């Protein structure tokens, strides 16, 4: 049993205390210098409570006071960065979810039951519950990929997640072939519409040549959106089967043959990878790359369907597991536990 779980059992109120102090430290880090009155208004808590909490943070050497307002110290910054992964452990997992996590070699997992008439709504609700924990109570950026799973999740987003928050939804990539309804622009716009958040578009092809890519970066709107997606507080995405995604992304016949010859089983962010998690093929793309995930504080990988078991198990070897929550359905979880054969 890990130390966070022991602490939760012994001091159950520590979860809420940790969350409040983490939010205060994060808000100061983002807006420093900031006065107590302005911070209390931003976090929507009383100045009396805030004074008590910030005095504790100051005593611990995490923040300092000055005539201009409060600043985060170097120790405070290091603490904040370390807490971005530890805070996620406060979201408890069931024994079954822990078993799945151990099997995949990951740290965080939520399993949604397949029972009931609307699995999509249940998955979406779980994603939104995680986002409430992850996102600050002020402004934040959520970047979103496309695909059928993500479009399903977006359909059930609600305004509840926007309470005390201002969220900007940004696509994580340009357009892909096929239906525009499941492209990242459409999915992120749907989430913004459902929640009342703001939306920024990226109307460029996902796959372009290097000669085309560089001039595109000079376009103000393109540059703004690319900058925002890399400054995201949270990333929402899915993982696909290699063969399905090769067709959807319109790969050339020789590229599809190459991927098949390298025994690719899955795809994410334009990277095709084999069962060992080794990237065997990369597509040049406008948008987030697999390497960008290390800089994003929180990620939620949403994967559903037993047919994606092998892709999920391979991707788990690639993902930044210290900051990624996996939300999967029960049929996929059972397939992972039972083993996957080619």
pTM over 0.85: no
Higher pLDDT, 31 or 153: 153
Q: Which tens digits make up the pLDDT trace of 44-88?
A: 788 888 899 999 999 999 999 999 999 999 999 888 887 776 666
| Mean pLDDT, residues 21-41 taken together | 88
Higher pLDDT, 305 or 223: 305
The verdict on whether omega for the bond into residue 86 sits within 30 degrees of 0, i.e. cis, is no
d(CA 244, CA 262): 15
pLDDT above 60 (res 4): no
In this prediction, residue 6 has a pLDDT band, given cuts at 50, 70 and 90, of low
Q: Which tens digits make up the pLDDT trace of 121-151?
A: 999 999 998 998 788 767 889 999 999 999 9
Domains in the chain (CATH in brackets) are: 3-84 (1.10.10.10), 92-338 (3.40.50.1360)
pLDDT above 50 (res 342): no
The reported pLDDT for the residue numbered 275 is 96
- Number of neighbouring beta carbons within 10 Å of residue 241: 19
For 23-43, b where at least 16 C-beta lie within 10 A, e where not — what string? Answer: bbbbbbbbebebeeeebbebb
The torsion angle over the Cα atoms of residues 204, 207, 211 and 216, rounded to 10 degrees, is 20
CA-based end-to-end distance of the chain: 34
The reported pLDDT for the residue numbered 81 is 80
């Amino acid at each position: 049993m890990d130390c966070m779980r022991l602490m939760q059992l012994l001091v159950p109120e520590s979860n809420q205390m940790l969350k409040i102090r983490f939010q205060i430290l994060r808000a100061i880090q983002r807006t420093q210098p900031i006065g107590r009155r302005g911070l209390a208004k931003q976090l929507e808590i009383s100045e009396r409570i805030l004074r008590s909490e910030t005095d504790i943070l100051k005593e611990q050497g995490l923040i300092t006071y000055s005539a201009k307002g409060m600043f985060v110290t170097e120790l405070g910054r290091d603490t904040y960065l370390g807490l971005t992964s530890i805070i996620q452990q406060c979201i408890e997992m069931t024994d079954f979810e822990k078993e799945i996590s151990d099997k995949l070699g990951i740290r965080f997992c939520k399993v949604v039951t397949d029972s009931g008439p609307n699995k999509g709504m249940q998955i979406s609700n779980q994603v939104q519950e995680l986002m409430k924990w992850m996102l600050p109570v002020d402004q934040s950026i959520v970047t979103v990929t496309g695909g059928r799973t993500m479009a399903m999740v977006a359909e059930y987003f609600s305004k509840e997640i926007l309470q005390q928050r201002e969220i900007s939804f940004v696509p994580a990539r340009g357009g892909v072939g096929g239906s525009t309804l499941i492209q990242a622009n459409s999915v992120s716009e749907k989430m913004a519409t459902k929640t009342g958040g703001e939306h920024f578009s990226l109307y460029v092809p996902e796959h372009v040549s290097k000669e085309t890519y560089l001039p595109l970066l000079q376009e103000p709107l393109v540059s703004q959106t690319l900058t925002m997606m890399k400054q995201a507080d949270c990333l929402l995405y899915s993982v696909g089967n290699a063969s399905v995604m090769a067709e959807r992304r319109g790969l050339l016949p020789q590229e599809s043959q190459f991927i098949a010859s390298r025994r690719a089983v899955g795809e994410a962010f334009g990277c095709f990878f084999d069962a060992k998690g080794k990237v065997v093929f990369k597509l040049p793309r406008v948008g987030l790359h697999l390497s960008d995930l290390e800089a994003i504080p929180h990620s939620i990988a949403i994967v559903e369907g037993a047919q994606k078991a092998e892709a999920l198990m391979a991707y788990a070897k690639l993902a930044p597991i210290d900051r990624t929550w996996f939300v999967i359905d029960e049929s996929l979880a059972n397939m992972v536990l039972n083993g996957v054969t080619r």
